[in-house]
Structure 1
Amino acid sequence: MSVCRNMHSLLSSCGRATSLSTRIANCQGSKFLQQTTRWSALRILQTCTSKRSVFNTTISFCQKQEDSSSKHGHSVSEEQPQQSEKHQACHKLRSWSFNVDSFGKIVIQTQFNAIVKPVSPLEYPAADKAFITLTMKSKEKDDSLFETVTNSLQANAGYEDEQLFVAVHFLENIVDELKKRDASVTWLAEVPISFNADIQTSDHGTILLENLENQRCVIKSEHGNCHINKIKSGDVKITSLSGNIICKKVLQGNAEITTHGAGSITTGRLQGQTFLLSSEAGDINCNDVYTVKAGIKTTSGHIEFANVHGECDIETDEGNVDVGSLDGSLNAVTNTGNISTYLVRHKEVNISSQNGDISLKVPSDVKTGVYLEASTVSVSKELHTQSVEENHSSDRVVYSGAWGNEANNQLKAVTKQGGITVAVQSWFDSLKLTK
């Protein structure tokens, strides 16, 4: 009974869960609610309130869902703005709803922002509904800009041959006015979770794609950032001319991620057979990578991985390379940058630098063949060496042999101008836990 009363009071505050709250209040003595656990109650509350939540990204968008009772293809306009916590007026310019197949494709080509997320599986379990909303957000206190935009707006959305598409046109002076007043226009598409996505934005239009489970995602932007959150797809391709690419939580599937200029790449967990990541001047930072083979390349940016599981090829000209822990094979090449890694369980490791230093950490019981060549070589005395030779010339040190018995793995590190250091580190120490 206490769980029921708590659910009733909390759900009543959720605008879209009013009917659910009423039903719960009317059946407080039912066996269903008596058997409902506190965890289940919180899950239900979390689901219904997520409709009104703000996306956990660096962008804040307008997200008011179109009423599900709208007719097929019906378009309406919203004239009363909603005020956000930052005192920004959010206007609904147009909205559409469609009856769709569960498997289809959403196509958006726009110079404005674009958001794609799934419709609620609780409200639409058959996954046969899609909603398109065009919104405008501005800091203007009056409605003059909204009225101007509405009068010049030519927008449309349609569904044909299992493909959902949108189109919008403003007069050029209206686009300039939006930029001048720091106003933004956003397409919000809510589609079945299995819909493929083909999203392209021009100018500084940003993209947010989240919680889809489909076969293919193609994301392209010019100068706007691309935000990807919890995507499971067979094939993902993300490209930006100069924007940042941010993948939060999990990106599951084969992926090719490319940005140019000063654009950077930041990811959570990458999980798939193949990954290709490349940038020019921007950094590449990844948390966990579980893959068969990954290729990482940047011209002058830094490359940093927390954990790599699988085979990884890394190449950079001027940037540093830092692999927090490696369970697999690594081929890392840099010109002037430094390279550091912790070899938890390695197979084949080849590390090369022209002018940078190489820092290696290994477990105390590591078993591997080893070849180190640099101007200076420093190896921890904690390692168990077998048939190790160390040859010195005028400016070179060659350290070769094996660590441990039955060394089937190989480690090769060479730097022409820098030095090599090898230290012992336990797996627990690699976690970098602080008191």
Structure 2
Amino acid sequence: MFAPRSAGALGQLRVWAGGACRARRARSSGSAGSEPEAPAEWALRVSPFGRLRARLPCRLAVRPLDPLAYPDGDRVLVAASAAGASGLRVAYDEALREVAVLSDSLDPRGSVEVAAPLHFDLNIKSSGSGCVKVQNFECDNCKIETEQGTSILQSLKSQKLHVQTKGGKVICLGTIYGNIDIHASDKSTVTIDKLQGSSVSVSTEDGLLKAKYLYTDSSFLSSAAGDITLGSVHGDITLHSKMGNITVDSSSGCLTASTQQGAVDVYVSQLGKVDLKAHKGSIVVKVASSLQAHLQLSGKEVDVNSEVHVQEMAEARKENGVIITGLMNQASTREKWIKADAPQGTEEVRKETKEASKSCSRPQFQHGCVCVEGRGVPPHHLALLGYQLGVLQFNSILTLSTQREHQIPQFLEWAKKKGECWNQPQSLLVISSLAYLRISKADELNGNILRDEQRKS
């Protein structure tokens, strides 16, 4: 074990490096009694292939050793800037090829920096609010555990990566390569730029799970109550949420998505097999214009946009809804299909480009399920419905329809009593015959709400 030692009133600090002793002076600021504690540093001679084990209550940053300064890759450099740094234990076990950096008494506001050989394995655990950052690293095994601190992974390659947090955030920057397992408890969130590997598993409890890009052979992403929001995904993807919504901007490959109480919104660009289920919510499927697939859609209400070309369409009514089957763009192979099931909600299928899919505002269905009457309901109406749903806190099935005000005499009579007089035609959004949203024709396209009036039944 190597530790820094103080050498008298001059504040001299000895740093041990592979048996050789170096001396450096701490900054002096007046009398010896008021002299601040200098940063503690260690330089250990190690095998280029080993492991770092860290147990700390403060911030920890790990980066690769500079290959120009240390071409043999046989050093581990440790620097601690924290009150109580002299109590930090740093040791190298030659038999285990393991560097240990241990302390439970460092000031949580302090920090420790480690530069290790590029291919060192990592086993890191932080306590309290201690954060961990690993960047530009390659290793066979990487294990990171935090309590309330944030884990930041940047441009990391690992054969096996495991990240777990009890209450902190997990942030993945750049591209993370490898077989990846990330678990975030409580309200912890996981945000990802890009994951690439054979097997990926990511889960949250009450927090958001968001990823821009997934390139994997097999992925499983889940959340108990948080939303799952994905950008472009490739491969065999399985998504599950109990109470949250699921959104996929672009899917290429096989996709299975299910939610108990949330909504599903998916754009399918290239097809393998797509299986979607929303037990109490709604499903919106957007497809590329040239996509060929077999369709099987079932729900309380099913809406297939007129721009989607479906041949051999068949409709069967059942006790609690409808089942629609057909072929998109004369699909010939049964290996490509889209199945969607919303037992208590509705389904909508429409043709859409990827750019339009990304720019379209999506409804946030938070309570109950939604029935949409009519075909080709504009996206801004769906957005308005999501807004009103949050305002009125309904837990029942809602009905959305668009009418001109002169078609609803009851409303005109009520408006007359209120002294309302509109000179321009208006569009009216009716929700469960309990509330009216007034939307001017000029603002109808962008979905701006001018005013909402509630009427008691």
Give the whole-Å Cα distance in 1 for the aligned partners of 2:346 and 2:219. 27
Given that 2:251 and 2:270 are in contact with CA atoms closer than 8 Å, whether structure 1 keeps it comes out as yes
Given that 1:352 and 1:413 are in contact with CA atoms closer than 8 Å, whether structure 2 keeps it comes out as yes
Deviation, 1:111, is 1.8
Give the whole-Å Cα distance in 2 for the aligned partners of 1:168 and 1:306. 41
Report the aligned-residue RMSD. Answer: 2.4
| Secondary structure of the corresponding residue to residue 211 of structure 1 | strand
| Secondary structure of the corresponding residue to residue 416 of structure 1 | strand
1:410 matches 2:337: yes
Residue deviations 1:303-362, cap 9 Å, x none?
A: 011011001111111100001100011111101101011111121111111111101110
Give the whole-Å Cα distance in 1 for the aligned partners of 2:47 and 2:321. 67
| Secondary structure of the corresponding residue to residue 263 of structure 1 | coil
Map of 1:139-218 to 2, 5 A cutoff? 149=84, 153-161=86-94, 162-170=97-105, 178=107, 184-218=109-143
**Residue identity opposite 1:251 in structure 2:** I
Superposed structure 1 runs of 4+ greater than 6 Å apart = 75-78
**Residue identity opposite 1:418 in structure 2:** G
Residue deviations 1:44-76, cap 9 Å, x none?
A: xxxxxxxxxxxxxxxxxxxxxxxxx97336587
| Secondary structure of the corresponding residue to residue 356 of structure 1 | coil
Give the whole-Å Cα distance in 2 for the aligned partners of 1:92 and 1:200. 25
Give the whole-Å Cα distance in 1 for the aligned partners of 2:28 and 2:328. 69
Residue from 302, 314, 317 that aligns with 1:377: 302
The structure in which a higher percent of residues are helix is 1
Give the TM-score, by structure 2 length.
Answer: 0.69
Given that 1:77 and 1:93 are in contact with CA atoms closer than 8 Å, whether structure 2 keeps it comes out as no
Q: Relative to 1, partners in 2 of residues 1:310 and 1:78: Cα closer, same or farther, differing over 3 Å?
A: farther
Corresponding residue of 1:242:
167
Deviation, 1:365, is 1.5
Residue from 102, 108, 122 that aligns with 2:48: 102
Give the whole-Å Cα distance in 1 for the aligned partners of 2:116 and 2:25. 21
| Secondary structure of the corresponding residue to residue 212 of structure 1 | strand
The total of aligned residue pairs comes to: 336
Map of 1:14-413 to 2, 5 A cutoff? 71-72=17-18, 79-80=26-27, 92-136=38-82, 149=84, 153-161=86-94, 162-170=97-105, 178=107, 184-393=109-318, 395-405=320-330, 406-408=332-334, 409-413=336-340
Deviation, 1:274, is 0.4
Deviation, 1:284, is 0.4
Give the whole-Å Cα distance in 2 for the aligned partners of 1:272 and 1:421. 33
Give the whole-Å Cα distance in 2 for the aligned partners of 1:81 and 1:112. 26
Q: Percent identical across equivalent pairs?
A: 23
Q: Relative to 1, partners in 2 of residues 1:75 and 1:417: Cα closer, same or farther, differing over 3 Å?
A: farther
Q: Relative to 1, partners in 2 of residues 1:103 and 1:229: Cα closer, same or farther, differing over 3 Å?
A: same
Deviation, 1:80, is 3.6
Given that 2:249 and 2:358 are in contact with CA atoms closer than 8 Å, whether structure 1 keeps it comes out as no
| Secondary structure of the corresponding residue to residue 103 of structure 2 | strand
Q: Relative to 1, partners in 2 of residues 1:426 and 1:191: Cα closer, same or farther, differing over 3 Å?
A: same
Unaligned runs of 5+ in 2: 1-14, 30-35, 361-457
- 1 or 2 for the larger relative contact order (CA 8 Å, sep ≥6)? 1
Given that 1:365 and 1:384 are in contact with CA atoms closer than 8 Å, whether structure 2 keeps it comes out as no
Give the whole-Å Cα distance in 2 for the aligned partners of 1:120 and 1:111. 26
Q: Which has the higher mean CA deviation after the structures are superposed, 118-127 or 368-377?
A: 118-127
**Residue identity opposite 2:110 in structure 1:** V
Given that 2:57 and 2:103 are in contact with CA atoms closer than 8 Å, whether structure 1 keeps it comes out as no
Give the whole-Å Cα distance in 2 for the aligned partners of 1:188 and 1:81. 23
**Residue identity opposite 1:351 in structure 2:** L
Given that 2:300 and 2:343 are in contact with CA atoms closer than 8 Å, whether structure 1 keeps it comes out as yes
Give the whole-Å Cα distance in 2 for the aligned partners of 1:81 and 1:333. 64
Q: Relative to 1, partners in 2 of residues 1:155 and 1:359: Cα closer, same or farther, differing over 3 Å?
A: same
The structure in which a higher percent of residues are strand is 2
Deviation, 1:223, is 1.4
Corresponding residue of 1:423:
350
**Residue identity opposite 1:326 in structure 2:** S
**Residue identity opposite 1:223 in structure 2:** Q
